[in-house]
Amino acid sequence: MLSRTAEHLFWMARHIERAENMARMLDVTFRMRLLPSSINQPIEPWAQPWAVPLITTGTASAYYALYKELNADNVLEFMVSNPENPSSITNCLKHARENARTVRGTITSEMWESLNSTWMEYGNPGPEILETTRLGEYFEHVKQRSHMFRGVTVGTALRDESFFFTRLGTFLERADNTARILDVKYHILLPTPQDVGGAQDHYQWGSLLRSVSAFEAYRKIYRDTIHPRKVAELLILRRDMPRSLRHCATEIYSMLSRILGNTGHEALRKAGDLNARLEFGRIEDIFATGLHEYLIDFLDRTGELGAEIHQEFFASTELEMRLA
Amino acid sequence: MNAAVEAQSMAYDELHGADGTIHPAYRAYTEWLAEVPPEMLQQKRLEADLLFRRLGITFAVYGDESGVERAIPFDIIPRIISAKAWDTVGKGCIQRVKALNMFLHDVYHNQDIVRAGIIPEEQILSNPAYRPEMKGIDLPGNVYAHVAGVDVVKVSDEEFYVLEDNLRTPSGVSYMLENRRMMMRLFPDLFSKIQVAPVEHYSDMLLKSLQAVAPASSSSMPVAVLLTPGAFNSAYFEHAFLAQQMGIELVEGQDLFVKNAVVFMRTTEGPQRVDVIYRRLDDDFLDPLAFRSDSMLGVAGLLSAYKAGNVTLANAIGTGVADDKSTYVYVPEMIRFYLSEEPILSNVPTFRLSRPDDLCYVLANLPELVVKEVQGSGGYGMLVGPKSSEQEIEEFRKKILANPNNYIAQPTLALSTCPTLVDEGIAPRHVDLRPYVITGQEVSVVPGGLTRVALREGSLVVNSSQGGGTKDTWVLEADAC
């Protein structure tokens, strides 16, 4: 497969996955706003509910370059539709579609149609979408379209390299997003790990779980009230939880090992290492290290893996040099 | 009577034929049409528009700031050609392309046709599309124009004129294929009533031909790719579509590199050799080392690999010398010279403004004539006399006088009209036809081609960049007796 094609496939998948995760994160923040203010009382002064999406995506400085005030309307505008924000939902939908358009001959027509129609219907929603009555529906649509794209991909794509690179993008992006959400939320919710209980915790932790579609899974697995440690375990180590770091790492490793050829050895090694750490990791050790430190280390590793994938598959100049 | 009305009333109408009765080719269709409610047609029209947009079958209009892409208007009423009429057009196009390929080989070798005194030497050598780099290079199968689009117009029941030959990178074939798919989706019942010759095998034919012209040094399974200028090119959809249909890689210049006069593509598994490049990039941009040095779209060293015979380009470099509008007038002579046959299809009578007599006549009759740039394409840089204001004509007169060699003129040809669905209902609109001729081991053409239609009433300009649309073109399997 052409290196450039592989790169477009990878970013196509990353962008639609990112759009979904943005929608999830904003949706729960938005829903939290509907609860009484006692629930929304920030524990730390910097942890205003509407700062969370900015901190999670690392876009706070870009935000303050554009807006003076931190409030719901501004953050929603910035994260949903502001063209200056490269990670805004509309930009993600646009990039996903543009990448798909470039490789439309490689993906199935159903995959292309799904991203093209998503962009046509939700890529330029207009200011009225930010109204309270419509926003929830918009997030729902974006999530569903992302589900649809994944479903169409799994249901129609030939299991060749184009599929592997697409899935690689999906899971690398998801791993990154889950780790970020967990890190920021944890930071805000648990300045001291002993604080447990209370209605506020229930809603806050519940919203974290909901943002990664894990609320029902938590209940099913633990049959218990929400404990921060179990939440972390669920989202980090559980293999059966499709948005957990473990699940993502396993998929990443599996995709990389199926990409044949004489390249990518280091990327495969890094992915295997990442997977092994999660496979044999224990939640006690993670908390002993410190959850924040653990997650930062994880994000560094996925970042390096991404760079390695880029180096070995997308910019494979090294092999050209070896050509006699 | 104004000129537009006149042009239309003079034109041959394909539905009513010369004698005013429904042409036999349209009989079954009109019977069907009489039975469907008119709102159903408008409904299908909307459906088609929606589908084209969802499928992203679009083209980009240069110089249009507003939208990057537009869907090409599609007319849901098919253009129907009888088996007998097609027999003539198909054979005529094949004959023409055969002669043009022989001419190109001759141009870059012995120039027998110049020696024979049929075409003046300066017609070839002073042509900006002539590529001295191609002199003496032998190409596999002596094929230059692997894909040719021959634009024809119907002027009577059986007779077609050739408007121009397109031998560089003719486009539009994806619309021919998508239009058929769309029609089968919208009107499956019609296809069971009327036996229409299929066109879907075009991509198989093309792939087979590309593989047949692979260099001798390539492996038994030659690797073909389609080279596109990129996603922002107006015809990108077509490039992606054809590459997908043929199952070959769609590459940009940056994906290829040349090492030791061999072309490779950059893949996730390392470099892979490329044997045949179906390129949809103009000569000028192919190789920054040989042609335009500012080209970001080409591949450095491509010409060296080409000259070494390690890669085949389809179409070859330098085919433009055979398809420009000043060479056009010699094509009937070429057919007689190379094939010893009489041309099956006629040319439109053409004035060459490089000739003083012709120039004089044309300048005196500008309001009645169509004047085209010799090198122009896409409907840009042309004057349609009957459709232009006095001021436009005078401005064009100045352009002609500044460089008469750059222009040819033709009588305002009455493009035939076909029934077309417009807002007011079904009305005649002018159409042309571009069959696609493929040359590999043999020369072949799929039945029909792309019909372009001028959607504005009275308009003769069918180019999609100028408000034209397309129709599905039906060649009947057998004519009704």
Q: Decide if A160 touches B, using CB distance below 8 A.
A: no
Among chain A residues, CA nearest to B55: A113
Q: Is the pLDDT confidence value at B314 over 90?
A: yes
CA distances for B67 relative to A93, B64, B71, angstroms: 17, 7, 11
Half-sphere exposure of B46 (CA within 13 A, CB side): 5
Length of chain B: 481
Q: What is the pLDDT of residue B251?
A: 95
Among chain B residues, CA nearest to A314: B268
Distance from CA of B41 to the nearest CA of A (A): 24
Among chain A residues, CA nearest to B258: A320
Question: In chain A, what residues touch B53 (CB-CB under 8 Å)?
Answer: 120
* pLDDT per residue rounded down to tens, chain A (324 residues): 899 999 999 999 999 999 999 998 888 888 777 666 655 565 555 567 788 888 888 899 999 999 998 888 899 999 999 999 999 999 999 999 999 999 988 999 899 999 999 998 999 888 888 888 888 899 999 999 999 999 999 999 999 999 999 999 999 999 999 998 888 777 766 655 555 556 666 777 888 898 888 999 999 999 888 888 899 999 999 999 999 999 999 999 999 999 867 777 899 999 999 999 999 999 999 989 888 899 999 999 999 999 999 988 988 665 565 665
Cross-chain residue pair B270–A316, CB shorter than 8 Å: yes
Q: Decide if A94 touches B, using CB distance below 8 A.
A: no
pLDDT band at B60 (very low <50, low <70, confident <90, very high): low
Q: Which residues contact A309 (CB under 8 A, 6 or more apart)?
A: A10, A168, A172, A256, A264, A267
Q: What is the pLDDT of residue A286?
A: 92
Helices (H), B36-82: 38-55
Mutation target to probe the B interface, by most B beta carbons within 10 A, among A104, A112, A259 is A104
Q: For residue range B130-183, what is the model confidence (pLDDT) as tens digits? A: 999 999 999 999 999 999 999 999 988 778 999 999 999 999 999 999 999 999
For residue A163, give the nearest of A103, A117, A250 by alpha carbon.
A103
Question: In chain B, what residues touch A259 (CB-CB under 8 Å)?
Answer: 268
Burial A151-168 (b: 16+ CB within 10 A, else e): ebbeeebeeebbbbbbbb
Q: What is the pLDDT of residue B3?
A: 41
Length of chain A: 324
Burial A204-231 (b: 16+ CB within 10 A, else e): bbbbbbbbbebbebbeeeeeeebebebb
Q: Decide if A105 touches B, using CB distance below 8 A.
A: yes
CA distance A11 to A83: 18
Where is B88: in which H helix or E strand? helix B83-107
Q: Decide if A319 touches B, using CB distance below 8 A.
A: yes
Burial of B103 (0-12, 13-18, 19+ CB in 10 A): buried
Structure tokens at B137: 């290079």
Structure tokens at A185: 């939320």
Rounded to two decimals, what is the model's pTM? Answer: 0.84
Structure tokens at A179: 């780790």
High-pLDDT (> 70) share of chain B, %: 93
Question: In chain B, what residues touch A262 (CB-CB under 8 Å)?
Answer: 269-270
Distance from CA of A76 to the nearest CA of B (A): 27
SS (H, E, C) B106-158: HHCCCCHHHHCCCCCHHHHHCCCCCCHHHCCCCCHHHCCCCEEEEEEEECCCC
Can you give the residue ranges of every domain in chain B? 349-412
Structure tokens at B430: 């002018």
When pLDDT is averaged across residues B285-289 and rounded to a whole number, the result is 90
- State the ipTM, two decimals: 0.75
Contact B124, B114 (CB under 8 A): yes
Among chain A residues, CA nearest to B236: A102
CA distance B153 to B89: 10
Distance from CA of A284 to the nearest CA of B (A): 40
Q: Decide if A120 touches B, using CB distance below 8 A.
A: yes
With respect to CATH, is domain B349-412 assigned 3.30.1490.270?
A: yes
Q: What is the CA radius of gyration of chain A?
A: 20
Cross-chain residue pair A102–B255, CB shorter than 8 Å: no
Question: Which of A105, A120, A161 has its CB closest to that of B53?
Answer: A120
- B81 versus B8: which is more confidently predicted? B81
Among chain B residues, CA nearest to A116: B54
- Is the alpha carbon torsion for B95, B100, B106, B108 positive or negative? negative
Cross-chain residue pair A320–B259, CB shorter than 8 Å: yes
Cross-chain residue pair A320–B271, CB shorter than 8 Å: yes
Q: What is the pLDDT of residue B64?
A: 47
Can you give the residue ranges of every domain in chain A? 3-322
- B18 versus B394: which is more confidently predicted? B394
Q: What's A314's DSSP letter?
A: I
Q: Decide if A108 touches B, using CB distance below 8 A.
A: no
Q: What is the pLDDT of residue A80?
A: 95
Distance from CA of A91 to the nearest CA of B (A): 16
Q: What is residue B408's three-state secondary structure?
A: strand
Q: What is residue B213's three-state secondary structure?
A: coil
Question: Which of A6, A104, A323 has its CB closest to that of B259?
Answer: A323
Contact B403, B174 (CB under 8 A): no
Question: In chain B, what residues touch A116 (CB-CB under 8 Å)?
Answer: 54-56
